[in-house]
Amino acid sequence: MRVKDIMTTPVQVVQQDARVEAAADLLAAHRVTALPVINADGSLVGMVSEGDLLWHRVPADPTAHALRDLEQAPTPRPSTVHQIMSARPITTTADADVADVADLMLHHDVRSVPVVDGRRVVGIVSRRDILRVAIRDDETLTGEVQHRLDEYADRPARWTVTVDRGVATVTGPLDDDIERTVVAVLARAVPGVSAVELCRTAAR
> Does 106 lie in the same domain as 172?
no
Rounded Cα gap, residues 26 and 203, in angstroms: 56
Rounded Cα gap, residues 75 and 123, in angstroms: 36
Q: Which of 134, 160, 179 is the last residue of a domain?
A: 134
CA distances from 155 to 133, 144, 160, 190 (A): 27, 15, 12, 19
The predicted structure's pLDDT at residue 79 = 84
User: Taking all residues of the chain, what is their mean pLDDT, rounded to a whole number?
Assistant: 87
User: How do residues 149-204 score in pLDDT, each as one tens digit?
Assistant: 999 998 888 999 999 988 999 999 998 999 999 999 999 988 888 899 999 876 55
CB-based contact 84:48 (threshold 8 Å): yes
Report the 3 state secondary structure along 2-71: EHHHCCECCCCCEECCCEHHHHHHHHHHHCCCEEEEECCCCEEEEEEEHHHHHHHHCCCCHHHCCCCCCC
> Does 124 lie in the same domain as 64?
yes
pTM across the whole model: 0.66
CB-based contact 180:201 (threshold 8 Å): no
> Does 187 lie in the same domain as 112?
no
Q: How many domains does the chain have?
A: 2
> Does 65 lie in the same domain as 123?
yes
CA distances from 14 to 4, 41, 112, 123, 155 (A): 22, 12, 15, 14, 47
The predicted structure's pLDDT at residue 68 = 54
> Does 26 lie in the same domain as 11?
yes
The predicted structure's pLDDT at residue 131 = 87
Strand pairing category for 195-200 and 167-172? parallel
Q: In DSSP terms, which residues pair with 171 in a beta bridge?
A: 160, 199
> Does 38 lie in the same domain as 9?
yes
> Does 130 lie in the same domain as 32?
yes
User: Which residue range(s) make up the domain with 144?
Assistant: 138-200
Which residue ranges of the chain lie beneath pLDDT 50? none
Q: Which of 119, 134, 149 is the last residue of a domain?
A: 134
